[in-house]
Amino acid sequence: MDENFAEAREECLKANSLTVEDLHSSWKSKNISEQHLCFRKCIMQKKGLLDESGAIQEEKVGDILNIRFDEEKRNALVECITEIGKIETCQDMDKVSQCFSKVRKI
């Protein structure tokens, strides 16, 4: 984990009254709490994946996905995420989570 991500993660955990343990347990749950969705939105904002208006920064998302996914999954994720539109509320992050769930099935 890079230093900038670790710093962003700590800030977003604190802002949403979460712990690392809370995060780990949320990955196993089908029902993601509002706090966890807000945490995810916070991370995307701090990492520059969302601009101030909530627009997803496609090129930055693609750069990050290059590290973790093969080309087929990366392309499917970028397409799904960019179709979402703006992320204005924490609840909008559920749409991003759904994109990841779809791609895991590929």
Per-residue pLDDT tens digits for 55-84: 999 888 877 777 678 888 888 988 998 899
CA separation, residue 26 to residues 64, 76, 79, 84 (Å): 22, 24, 25, 22
Model pTM?
0.83
The CATH topology of domain 3-104 is Recoverin; domain 1 (1.10.238)
* Amino acid (1-letter code) at residue 81: I
Per-residue pLDDT tens digits for 45-54: 999 999 999 9
C-alpha radius of gyration, the chain, whole number: 13
**Spacing of C-alpha 45 from chain mean position:** 9
Instruction: Tell me the pLDDT band of 1, cut-offs 50, 70 and 90.
Output: low
Tell me what pLDDT residue 50 has.
Answer: 92
Per-residue pLDDT tens digits for 80-101: 988 998 999 999 999 998 998 8
Q: What residue ranges do the domains of the chain occupy?
A: 3-104
